[in-house]
Structure 1
Amino acid sequence: MWLFSRKGPSGFSASSTAEEVTQGIDGTGLTAIVTGASSGIGTETARVLALRGVHVIMAVRNMAAGKDVREAIVKEIPSAKVDAMELDVSSLASVRKFASEYNSQGRPLNILINNAGIMASPFMLSKDNIELQFATNHLGHFLLTHLLLDTMKKTAQKSSREGRIVNVSSEAHRFAYSEGIRFDKINDESAYNSFGAYGQSKLANILHAKELAKHLKEDGVNITANSLHPGSIVTNLFRYNGILRGDFFSISCCD
């Protein structure tokens, strides 16, 4: 369709693949964490980063699925450096455990891609008694970023290479509640709307990236923070919605 093939100023279109966009980029020596890398956009992100020479840490909730994806990537790209580590971003304890283990290993970290998520789920609470979409899509990644930031700062300073933090948000942030983020009603089941709750979590991703970028710049830190809408991509994100499941479009991805 012309809408998806029309190229913008960058020379790419909505139909451009990750391989096309990264053609000619050498990621050798870089290390990246990709959350939700066992399916959807996360898997493709991990694969293409590995293809470009980046050492990829797949942060996944389902280790069996993560290992399968890792094996598939290494089979396709024998030189790939890919590891899988367990992370459930809906659990603050899991986030703290992951970050502690990663930081204790003394590994560098150049790139953090906060990608894992769920969409339009029925009302549920996380292990920390927080509405599940907000806990998974925003709070877990907010904490993860905070806990890994010192490692990223040290890496950027030592390597003299710009670090990058990416929050995978969505155009669906426009579907947030009319008030924006309902901080006083996050756990209010009676006021819950699955798409409104998803929208507010994606809005939080954007606000987090904008504020973080501001602070990093003010502090003179060589790290950028951005949020993005990945486009209309067929993934399993609609697993909680029987009407939309299997449709042509999904707006982000999940682990």
Structure 2
Amino acid sequence: MKGTLRYLAGIAGPNGFGSRSTAEQVTQHSFFPCSHLTAIITGGTSGIGAETARVLAKRGVRVVMAVRDMKKAEMVKERIVKENPEADIRLFEIDLSSLSSVARFCSQFLSQDLPLNILINNAGVFSPNLEFSEEKIELTFATNFLGHYLLTEMLMKKMIDTAEKSGIEGRIINLSSVIHSWVKPDCFSFPKLLHPIRYNGTRAYAHSKLATILHAKALSKQLKDRNANVTINAVHPGIVKTGIIRAHKGLFTDSLFLMASKLLKSISQVGVNNICFTFLSK
């Protein structure tokens, strides 16, 4: 509770930043030479993803946007380039719910022979109804976790090689959510999750976010065991009214974001500042 109150009040932590700090502020003095970095971000057409792409480009990072809606991506790119004409933005199509689409994207990206320093697994969906991917996997789990898991695995060698050649630590970020804590140990069950009548979209979303955290923990250990100069972190963006949350309307969420909007400096950059700090700080 104390931590929550400090967050809502915008009180700065040991690093000098708090919830009122903007993404531009936390990246002003980057630990890395940003102009030499290449980052992939999934789901960069709105909300957290679009703002992260903008700030990265502003700092000189080459940004590869892996998106489902190319038309929206072109609009985001246009806005970024208008603000920063020197921005290097590359657009690739991907559907994280489709394993074949993920594999196709990885093949296309790797064929460009670009380095890869940063991977931000940001894209996500919230489905109030039980839906399935083309591989017949529950849609929320397929998109939020499984697609990103495959993406990370297929790009891991490139990240390790880039870090080894450049001497710059590679950074992987899995966008998580505090809602993962709503899943009790005895409730992490696919049969319960897939029940056609008892399906609960919030529970499915919580399952997917717990899976992203468990993935980060397991992969972190594997990377250390391999002595790879790559790290992975699961990051909770804070109180941010993204497209996912807007689809989950209700008295509780509406009240929560109304309160947050009065306390926080910028809803969009609030969700991006800790993400940017994670991949550009020492």
TM above 0.5, yes or no, is: yes
1:48 to 39, 43, 55: 55
2:170 to 134, 140, 163: 163
Aligned pairs, number: 253
How much does 1:142 deviate?
0.2
Q: Which amino acid aligns with 1:21?
A: V
Measured in 2, the distance between the counterparts of 1:111 and 1:169 equals 17
What SS is found at the alignment partner of 1:28?
A: helix
Maintained 8 Å contact 1:181/1:203? no
Measured in 2, the distance between the counterparts of 1:72 and 1:49 equals 14
Could you tell me which residue of structure 2 aligns to residue 144 of structure 1? 151
Could you tell me which residue of structure 2 aligns to residue 34 of structure 1? 41
Maintained 8 Å contact 2:94/2:105? yes
1:89 to 88, 91, 96: 96
Q: Deviations over 1:186-225 (max 9, x none)?
A: 5332342111111110000000011101000110000001
Maintained 8 Å contact 2:93/2:105? yes
TM-score (norm 2): 0.84
Residue 23 in 1 paired to residue 32 in 2?
no
Measured in 2, the distance between the counterparts of 1:35 and 1:4 equals 31
Q: Which amino acid aligns with 1:126?
A: S
Maintained 8 Å contact 2:127/2:139? no
Measured in 1, the distance between the counterparts of 2:54 and 2:9 equals 23
Percent of matched pairs sharing the same residue: 49
Could you tell me which residue of structure 1 aligns to residue 18 of structure 2? 13
What SS is found at the alignment partner of 1:217?
A: helix
Q: Which amino acid aligns with 1:60?
A: V
How much does 1:99 deviate?
0.5
How much does 1:236 deviate?
1.5
Measured in 1, the distance between the counterparts of 2:254 and 2:65 equals 26
Q: Which amino acid aligns with 2:206?
A: G
Q: Between Structure 1 and Structure 2, which shows a larger proportion of helix residues? A: 2
What SS is found at the alignment partner of 1:190?
A: coil
Instruction: Give structure 1 stretches of 5+ with no counterpart.
Output: none
What SS is found at the alignment partner of 2:119?
A: strand
Measured in 2, the distance between the counterparts of 1:235 and 1:44 equals 11
Q: Deviations over 1:77-133 (max 9, x none)?
A: 111111111011011111010001111221110100000001253211111111111
Maintained 8 Å contact 2:128/2:200? no
Measured in 1, the distance between the counterparts of 2:271 and 2:244 equals 7
Maintained 8 Å contact 1:176/1:195? no
What SS is found at the alignment partner of 2:186?
A: coil
How much does 1:240 deviate?
3.1
Maintained 8 Å contact 2:125/2:244? yes
What SS is found at the alignment partner of 1:189?
A: coil
Deviates more, 1:195-204 or 1:119-128: 119-128
Residue 121 in 1 paired to residue 128 in 2?
yes
Q: Which has the higher contact order (CA 8 A, sep 6+)?
A: 2
Could you tell me which residue of structure 2 aligns to residue 153 of structure 1? 160
Measured in 2, the distance between the counterparts of 1:176 and 1:239 equals 22
Q: Which amino acid aligns with 2:221?
A: K
Measured in 1, the distance between the counterparts of 2:187 and 2:158 equals 32
- After superposition, the Cα gap between the structure-2 partners of 1:62 and 1:177, relative to the gap in structure 1 and judged at 3 Å, is farther
Could you tell me which residue of structure 2 aligns to residue 110 of structure 1? 117
C-alpha root-mean-square deviation of aligned residues, in Å? 2.1
Deviates more, 1:187-196 or 1:6-15: 187-196
What SS is found at the alignment partner of 2:34?
A: coil
